[in-house]
């Protein structure tokens, strides 16, 4: 479409994406409304060398684009196969490839832009004096003129190869936030509502048992089922887990972290009955989640004279005799209690999961 036609119809000249509007000669507006003489950008460049530099810069941009695409392809292909991105080895592998490709993309882009400026743009000394903070109209006009001059000097209009490869290289970067969001992993949905106790109890009940046995989590008795008679001294506290949790393979650590439970022996007459949970203790043995309801540290300190459970991170204190209610500190709710019983052989068992989600309150209730 010719300029003549545009004048008639009032429409602008036909534009191609990535093409800046046409620039009038080399003249720039001045504050007085006139036009100032400017140098012809790139006039002093050796066009043969400039062409060579242009190709190198374009190659850099293409390399940046290829690395970005490689990043996306690896991310999508790798995270969807062989168990996704779980596990230490997989995390290391992904860090190496994703980090390497992203670095290559930024590096190639940076080298391209640097070469562009050094080899294809005019080197003119720029001076700037100190002014008052508020700029006057002259300075603003001068800035606008400098920007226009810079646009001319960059060759954006004159070198479509560079312009388009630069846009191509930059385009995948706009998608980066999507990958960062995807990297947060799937939504937890209902998984935070339950611990492995729920699954273990269901499995035990399916096998005709009244519940799952508690096993000691460390020490010489580690992973051995615990009899009520073996934990009969008031004042004691140990950490227990559901039987079978160590057989979960690569998922065991995650499940252990969520299912950790403290078992405390308190004189039975000291325990205040909680409505609906009156039968959840066995001769003064009571079980609470070990995960602090503030931000999830292990609430692993127990003071037997006061029956206080203390979280060392921010000093939340829970009353073990009163449903682990918060009596001090930033935690907002009690430690959830685990329903206990004994089986016919005298082993301590859990008859259900914690009645509410364990851990920090911001997980909320699903
Ligand atoms: S995590 Fe327990 S008090 Fe903060």
- The answer to whether position 365 is within a domain reads no
Sheet holding 348-350, edge to edge: 337-338, 285-289, 261-265, 237-242, 212-216, 348-350, 340-342
Q: Which atom of ligand 1 is nearest to 299's Cα?
A: 2
Q: State residue 361 phi and psi, 5-degree precision.
A: -70, -25
Q: How far is the CA of 292 from the centre of ligand 1 (A)?
A: 6
Please state the domain count of the chain: 3
Kindly provide the b/e burial profile for residues 239-278, where b requires at least 16 CB atoms within 10 angstroms of the residue's own CB.
bbbbbbbeeeeeeeeebbebbbbbbbbbeeeebeeeeeee
Contact between residue 209 and residue 236 where contact means Cβ atoms under 8 Å apart = no
Q: Is the CB of 316 within 6 Å of ligand 1?
A: yes
Ranges of H-type helices in 171-251: 176-182, 196-206
Q: Are residues 215 and 284 in the same domain?
A: yes
Ranges of H-type helices in the chain: 3-9, 47-79, 88-120, 137-154, 160-170, 176-182, 196-206, 252-259
- The answer to whether position 364 is within a domain reads no
Please state which of the ranges 116-130, 146-160, 243-257, 341-355 shows the lowest mean pLDDT: 116-130
Q: Are residues 158 and 55 in the same domain?
A: yes
Q: Are residues 217 and 325 in the same domain?
A: yes
- The answer to whether position 190 is within a domain reads no
- The answer to whether position 366 is within a domain reads no
Per-residue pLDDT tens over the stretch 247-304? 887 778 888 989 999 999 999 999 998 888 889 999 999 999 999 999 999 998 999 8
Separation of alpha carbons 314 and 297, rounded Å: 9
Q: How far is the CA of 177 from the centre of ligand 1 (A)?
A: 32
Q: Are residues 207 and 330 in the same domain?
A: yes
Q: What percent of the chain has a predicted confidence (pLDDT) above 70?
A: 81
Q: Both tokens of residue 228?
A: 């009520």
Q: Is the CB of 298 within 6 Å of ligand 1?
A: no
Q: Which atom of ligand 1 is nearest to 295's Cα?
A: 1
- The answer to whether position 7 is within a domain reads yes
Q: Are residues 207 and 345 in the same domain?
A: yes
Q: Are residues 202 and 346 in the same domain?
A: yes
Q: What band does 10 get if pLDDT is binned at 50, 70 and 90?
A: very low
Q: Are residues 319 and 289 in the same domain?
A: yes
- The answer to whether position 359 is within a domain reads no
Question: β-strand 317-319 against 308-310: which pairing, if any?
Answer: antiparallel
Q: Both tokens of residue 177?
A: 């936030």
pLDDT greater than 90 at residue 363? no
Q: Is the CB of 313 within 6 Å of ligand 1?
A: yes
Q: Are residues 214 and 346 in the same domain?
A: yes
Contact between residue 258 and residue 275 where contact means Cβ atoms under 8 Å apart = no
Domain that holds residue 338: 196-350
Number of residues in the chain: 366
Q: Are residues 205 and 330 in the same domain?
A: yes
Question: 3-class DSSP state for residue 102?
Answer: helix
Per-residue pLDDT tens over the stretch 321-345? 999 999 999 999 999 999 999 999 9
Q: Are residues 236 and 216 in the same domain?
A: yes
């Amino acid at each position: 479409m010719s300029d003549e036609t545009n004048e008639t119809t009032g429409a602008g000249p036909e534009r191609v994406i990535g093409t800046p509007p046409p620039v009038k000669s080399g003249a720039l507006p001045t504050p007085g409304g006139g036009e100032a003489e400017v140098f012809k950008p790139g006039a002093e460049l050796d066009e043969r060398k400039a062409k060579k530099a242009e190709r190198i810069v374009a190659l850099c941009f293409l390399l940046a684009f290829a690395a970005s695409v490689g990043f996306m392809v690896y991310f999508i292909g790798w995270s969807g196969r062989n168990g996704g991105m779980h596990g230490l080895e997989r995390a290391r592998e992904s860090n190496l490839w994703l980090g390497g490709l992203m670095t290559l993309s930024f590096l190639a882009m940076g080298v391209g832009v640097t070469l562009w400026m050094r080899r294809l743009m005019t080197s003119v000394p720029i001076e700037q004096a100190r002014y008052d903070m508020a700029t006057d109209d002259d300075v603003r006009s001068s800035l606008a003129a400098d920007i226009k001059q810079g646009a001319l000097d960059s060759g954006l209009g004159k070198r479509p190869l560079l312009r388009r490869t630069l846009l191509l290289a930059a385009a995948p970067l706009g998608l980066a936030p999507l990958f960062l969001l995807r990297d947060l992993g799937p939504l937890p949905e209902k998984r935070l509502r339950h611990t492995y106790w729920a699954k273990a109890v269901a499995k035990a009940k399916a096998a005709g048992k009244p519940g799952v046995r508690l096993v000691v989590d460390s020490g010489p008795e580690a992973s051995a089922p615990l009899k009520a008679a073996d934990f009969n001294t008031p004042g004691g506290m140990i950490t227990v887990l559901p039987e079978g949790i160590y057989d979960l393979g690569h998922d065991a650590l995650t499940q252990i972290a969520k299912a950790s439970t403290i078992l405390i022996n308190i004189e039975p007459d000291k325990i205040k009955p909680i409505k609906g949970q009156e039968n959840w203790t066995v001769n003064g043995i009571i079980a609470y989640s070990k995960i602090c309801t503030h931000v999830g540290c292990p609430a692993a300190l127990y003071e037997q004279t006061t029956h206080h459970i203390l979280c060392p991170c921010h000093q939340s204190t829970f009353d073990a005799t009163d449903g682990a209610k918060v009596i001090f500190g930033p935690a907002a709710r009690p430690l959830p209690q685990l329903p206990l019983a004994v089986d016919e052989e005298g082993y301590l068992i859990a008859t259900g999961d914690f009645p509410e989600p364990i851990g920090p309150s911001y997980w909320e209730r699903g």
